[in-house]
Amino acid sequence: MNAGDVIPEKWRNDISEILIGSTQLSKRVSHLAQLISTDYESQNPILLVVLKGSFHFASDLSRAITVPHELEFIRAKSYQGVTTSGNVHIQHIDETKFFGRHVIVIEDIVETGLTLTQIYRSLKDAHAASIKCCSLLEKVTSNRIEGSPTVDYIAFHIPDKFVVGYGLDYDQAFRHFPFIAVYKSS
Ligand code: XMP
Ligand code: MG
């Protein structure tokens, strides 16, 4: 664990433990970047970054990918506090940008798979040439929707707990932590 991976005093009541330290994060991100660089050589893929949660991950991943690629962004929102609302609000996808393109959806965390299902539907409607997903985290849960897309590149599987940090939030807080931590009341 990195020396910076310490829960600051003022948040010790909110955060119970550090689950994934910053060194582990950067090692896995580099590894996924290598896999993507090999798989997408000469394909100039679009990394479709799902905001806000995946912004740190996408930034580190993109800078470690060694082949040409482009970046696009959309917003998706489903959680209120520590519970999923069951409704996903996804910003409209500009279909013209994805026609005939290889797309890699960059997610922070896949839980039920609902967000991913909706994004894939829009990208299929847009006639993307191929669609894959790279997610920082996948939650091991019984809530997964049957038939939801499989995640092609995963940095870490985590237990069914609410996590924050490295982009993930609890009501917009804690996104700035350089590590992934478990939120206490989850
Ligand atoms: P679904 O269920 O659509 O969920 O696969 C994906 C979205 O839900 C949010 N999510 C979390 N956000 N800590 C968070 O900060 C969590 O533990 C968590 N679990 C799910 C997240 O926005 C993700 O994109
Ligand atoms: Mg969130």
Return the pLDDT at 85: 64
For the CA of 53, the nearest atom of ligand 1: 22
| Dist. CA 87–CA 11, nearest whole Å | 30
pTM of the model: 0.94
Residue 8: predicted pLDDT: 85
* Contact (CB, 8 A) for 15 and 182: yes
Nearest ligand for residue 165 CA: 1
**Per-residue pLDDT band at 2 (split at 50, 70, 90):** confident
Q: Which of 12, 19, 4 is nearest to 140 (CA)?
A: 19
At residue 75 the predicted structure's pLDDT band, cuts being 50, 70 and 90, is very high
For the chain, percent helix, then strand, then coil, each to nearest 5? 25, 35, 40
Instruction: Give the model's pLDDT for residue 88.
Output: 83
The pLDDT mean for the chain works out to 93
* Digit-coded pLDDT (tens) for 143-175: 899 999 999 999 999 999 999 999 999 999 999
pLDDT tens digit sequence for 23-72? 999 999 999 999 999 999 999 999 999 999 999 999 999 999 999 999 99
Calpha distance 84→113 (Å, rounded) = 11
| For residue 102, pLDDT beyond 70 | yes
Mean pLDDT of 95-100: 94
Which atom, in ligand 1's list, is nearest to the CA of 168? 15
How far apart are alpha carbons 60 and 64 in whole angstroms?
6
Ligand 1: which residue has its CA nearest to atom 14?
A: 168
Q: What is the dihedral of CA 113, 102, 52, 4, to 10 degrees?
A: 100
